[in-house]
Structure 1
Amino acid sequence: MKNKLSDLNNHLFAQLERLGEEDLTADQIDKEVNRSKAIIGVAAQIVSAQNLNLRAVELIAEHGERFHDKLTMIEAPR
């Protein structure tokens, strides 16, 4: 898999650094703020999906494999 949560973290911090650039014009700041809002929206969806994945894995770990066939979106461990 190419994208990891660490990549998301790097993107978020890179955007934070862009927002902190002191030589931005008002127009550039507006563009970066809009870009930040888009990144935040996508990041929130990624985190939400990963939380759901984690909850499913915890369910399997706590109650055994009897739930695994009900969680068809979860890949079997390798």
Structure 2
Amino acid sequence: MKNKLSDLRDHLFAQLEAVREATDEDLAKEVSRAQSVSDISRVLIESAKVEIDYFRHIGGENSASSFIESKPALPPGKVTRQ
């Protein structure tokens, strides 16, 4: 298992697909599993928010997070196209 925010997003979408594709017999099990995944994800996201607040508090704009991928900041007025 990877430990990045984008991986968490991938797991959430995979669980959503599992619920959508569940048969009537398996739906209750998948919904229960989805609730557990959601609860754990909520805790991870809240901890990431605390990490961001900490970096802001200490003035660590250049600090790296092990959970949140960072991209180089663009100069003011620059817009990227995807």
**Alignment RMSD (CA, Å):** 1.7
Partner Cα separation in structure 1 for residue 35 and residue 19 of structure 2? 12
Kindly indicate whether structure 1 or structure 2 has the higher relative contact order, using CA contacts under 8 Å at least 6 residues apart: 2
Unaligned runs of 5+ in 2: 65-82
Task: State the TM-score, normalized to the length of structure 1.
Answer: 0.70
Q: How many residues align?
A: 61
Identity level (%):
34
Give CA deviations for 1:7-60 in whole Å, capped at 9, x if unaligned: 100000000111111xx3323000000000000010000000000000000111
Which of the pair is proportionally richer in helix?
A: 1
Q: Which runs of 4+ in 1 moved over 6 A?
A: none
Taking the aligned partners of 2:23 and 2:50, their CA distance within structure 1 comes to 40
For 2:20 and 2:34, locate their aligned partners in 1 and report how far apart those are by CA, in whole Å.
Answer: 12
Tell me the TM-score normalised to structure 2 length.
0.67
